[in-house]
Amino acid sequence: MAPADKKNIVIFASGSGSNAQRLMECFEHHPHIRVAALFANNPKAYALKRAETFHVPAFLFSRDEFYNTNEVLEQVQSFRPDLIVLAGFLWLVPQNFLQAFPDRIINIHPALLPQYGGKGMHGLNVHTAVVSAGDQESGITIHRVNEEYDKGEFILQERCPVHPGDTPEDLATRVLQLEHKYLPEVVEKLLTLKDNPINPS
Ligand code: GRF
């Protein structure tokens, strides 16, 4: 199948980008899906370097461009995304994106929402809160994105144990393994299942 016939993923990332890397690895030679571009809001995001390694076009944008103009939206639209994946992206998605891509933006969160979500609940903050609460399990939530942090419809949750004596870093490692396993699977399903509303035949 020629690349033009592939489904396009656009990734948004703010930090390390290990989930972005998983997506780029999994779809590098995929017959029907490709990572078309990566957008980052942080010049120090290692995700930008990872994109370069995979020869995926990468773009840096500012808060002003994202919230006060259509520049980022238009640049994203030029890649004709079938799915936008927020993979460690820390800003709220503005209305112009939600309207342009209804139900086509998903996020991965490193906890079992609706617990441990919302503004400021990212990275080690999440795992510190889970460990401090004495919870016996945590996990991941992959969900659709709406105008509130971590509030859209759930697509998938997977669980893992929290062991006695776990540090937040221990738990982060276990949860990240779940993310790396399930994010590519969910993306592939969303983009290939025939009865999916984002995937008209
Ligand atoms: C992941 O835990 C993800 O769930 C959260 O931010 C972290 C990003 O990790 N949204 P990475 O940048 O993909 O390595």
Model pTM?
A: 0.94
Question: Which of 122, 141, 169, 178 has most ligand 1 atoms within 8 Å of its beta carbon, as the pocket-test mutant?
Answer: 122
Of all atoms in ligand 1, which is nearest to the CA of residue 15? 12
Share of the chain above pLDDT 70, in %: 94
Q: Tell me which amino acid residue 181 is.
A: K
Kindly report the CATH number that applies to the domain delimited by 7-192. 3.40.50.170
For ligand 1, atom 6: residue with the closest CA: 88
Q: What is the pLDDT of residue 193?
A: 81
Q: What is the pLDDT of residue 195?
A: 62
Q: What is the pLDDT of residue 4?
A: 61
Q: Does residue 143 have an active-site annotation? A: no
Reply yes or no on whether the pLDDT at 119 is more than 50.
yes
Q: What is the pLDDT of residue 18?
A: 98
User: Which position among 29, 55, 109, 122 bears the catalytic label?
Assistant: 109
Q: What is the pLDDT of residue 196?
A: 66
**CA within 13 Å, CB half, 70:** 7
Smallest Cα–Cα separation from 108: which of 73, 154, 63, 70?
A: 154
Alpha-helical (H) ranges within the chain are: 18-27, 46-53, 63-68, 71-77, 95-100, 124-133, 168-192
Smallest Cα–Cα separation from 92: which of 152, 21, 43, 8?
A: 152
The string of pLDDT tens digits covering residues 129-186 is 999 999 999 999 999 999 998 999 999 999 999 999 999 999 999 999 999 999 999 9
Reply yes or no on whether the pLDDT at 3 is more than 70.
no
Residue at token pair 């062991």 = 163
Instruction: Identify the H or E element spanning 109.
Output: strand 105-109
Query: Which residues make Cβ contacts (< 8 Å) with residue 161, sequence separation at least 6?
Result: 136, 137, 174
Q: What is the pLDDT of residue 2?
A: 46
For ligand 1, atom 12: residue with the closest CA: 17
Q: Reduced to 3 states, what is the DSSP secondary structure of residue 5?
A: helix
Question: Which of 12, 35, 108 has most ligand 1 atoms within 8 Å of its beta carbon, as the pocket-test mutant?
Answer: 108
Angle in degrees, 0-180, between the axes of helices 46-53 and 18-27, rounded to the nearest 10: 20
Of all atoms in ligand 1, which is nearest to the CA of residue 16? 12
User: First-to-last CA distance in the chain?
Assistant: 16
141 close to 154: Cβ distance less than 8 angstroms: yes
| Cα–Cα dist 27/201, whole Å | 20
Ligand 1 lining (C-beta closer than 6 Å): 13, 15-20, 87-88, 108-110, 122-123, 176, 179
The string of pLDDT tens digits covering residues 37-91 is 999 999 999 999 999 999 999 999 999 999 999 999 999 999 999 999 999 999 9
